[in-house]
């Protein structure tokens, strides 16, 4: 005996099937599936987009850990420096989110991070970032450079201003100094970066503000149209609240002789201080004690994109060779 069956799909069912299919295609394209992965060929636009998404994801984790009050503070020796420094669960989680997320897409990509991956914080699937971002897409205008992966490195400061992060439970005002920073270098030169402030709200009241820059391409919309500071004889110098060194002496000596007044601003975090210069809230960021390159790489790319410059005290440009120690400068 033979049986025949007819499957009838009503219009609603067909519509839902098509809708699900289109949604899957959209997710595939957003994840960069439309581009065949090439281990030796990386699109900077995709790497920058991924860095933005990962920095924001890491920022969310940092905020949640701060809310939980379970920071799991430990101390580590300062690499190449005397003394110890604090490291928290927020530092480590942020590091893992960013480094694992990048390696999920580009397994051979070289990364240089302030923290090191620890297996006990490395559980579960890695967060796979999106490889497109609407702000970047609007900027590239067909100039989507591909670069050999051997020439690329990503410098990461997963949580800048850790001291203020730990103190933020009793003094929330300090949390504005916390940033997550990602910097893309090509042939040891910074060409794109992300600086994310996880605890600062944007103009619409949303948690977290992200700034990004790409040399010769543009900056995030929140860095556009910023008015230059009034042309006065006062130079605003921003420096560290905890590593001031001889900043006041150096600044006064170098700037006062020309008839300028020097206004000193103290703040925490290299990322935050660089942003104050970019946002025209300070004219000069001066640091006179040793500092690591992952602290300044993102700010270097940002300032250069805005036609500024970051140099050593001797006026030399800073290079970022990932195969060399991230030694202080």
Contacts of 273 (CB under 8 A, 6+ apart): 238, 239, 240, 267, 282, 285, 299
Q: How far apart are CA 155 and CA 89, in angstroms?
A: 20
Tell whether residue 295 is among the known ligand binding residues: yes
Helix (H, G, I), strand (E, B) or coil at 236: strand
DSSP 21: H
Helix (H, G, I), strand (E, B) or coil at 257: helix
Cα–Cα distances in Å, from 29 out to 25, 36, 131?
6, 11, 9
Nearest CA to 216 among 191, 247, 252, 244? Answer: 191
Tell whether residue 159 is among the known ligand binding residues: yes
Cα–Cα distances in Å, from 93 out to 57, 120, 193, 251?
10, 10, 20, 38
Tell whether residue 307 is among the known ligand binding residues: no
Tell whether residue 114 is among the known ligand binding residues: yes
Q: How far apart are CA 299 and CA 182, in angstroms?
A: 9
Tell whether residue 35 is among the known ligand binding residues: no
Residue 113's beta-bridge partner residues? 156
The annotation places the binding site at 114, 157, 159-160, 295
Question: Which residues are known binding-site members for Mg(2+)?
Answer: 114, 157, 159-160, 295
């Amino acid at each position: 005996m033979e049986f025949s069956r007819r499957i009838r799909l009503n219009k609603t069912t067909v519509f839902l099937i098509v809708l699900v299919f289109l949604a899957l295609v959209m997710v595939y394209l957003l994840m960069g599936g439309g581009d065949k992965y090439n281990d030796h060929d990386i699109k900077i636009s995709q790497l920058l987009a991924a860095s933005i998404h990962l920095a924001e994801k890491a920022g969310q984790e940092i905020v949640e850990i701060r809310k939980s009050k379970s920071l799991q503070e430990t101390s580590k020796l300062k690499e190449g420096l005397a003394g110890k420094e604090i490291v928290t669960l927020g530092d480590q989680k942020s590091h893992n989110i960013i480094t694992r997320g990048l390696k999920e897409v580009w397994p051979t990509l070289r990364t240089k991070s302030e923290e090191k991956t620890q297996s006990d914080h490395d559980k579960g699937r890695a967060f796979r970032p999106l490889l497109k971002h609407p702000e970047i897409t609007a900027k590239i205008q067909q100039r989507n450079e591909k670069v050999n992966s051997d020439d690329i490195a990503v410098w990461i400061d997963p949580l800048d201003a850790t001291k203020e992060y730990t103190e933020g439970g009793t003094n929330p005002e300090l949390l504005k100094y916390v940033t997550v920073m990602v910097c893309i270098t090509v042939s040891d030169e910074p060409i794109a970066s992300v600086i994310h402030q996880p605890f600062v709200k944007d103009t619409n009241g949303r948690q977290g503000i992200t700034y990004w820059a790409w040399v010769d391409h543009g900056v995030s919309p929140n860095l556009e149209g910023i008015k230059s500071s009034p042309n006065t004889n006062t130079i605003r110098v921003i420096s560290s609240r905890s590593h001031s060194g001889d900043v006041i002496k150096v600044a006064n000596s170098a700037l006062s002789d020309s008839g300028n007044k020097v206004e000193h601003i103290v703040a925490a975090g290299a990322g935050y201080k660089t942003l104050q210069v970019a946002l025209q809230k300070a004219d000069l960021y001066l640091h006179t004690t040793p500092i690591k390159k992952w602290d300044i790489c993102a700010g270097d790319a940002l300032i250069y994109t805005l036609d500024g410059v970051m140099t050593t005290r001797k006026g030399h440009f800073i290079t970022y060779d990932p195969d060399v120690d991230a030694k202080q400068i």
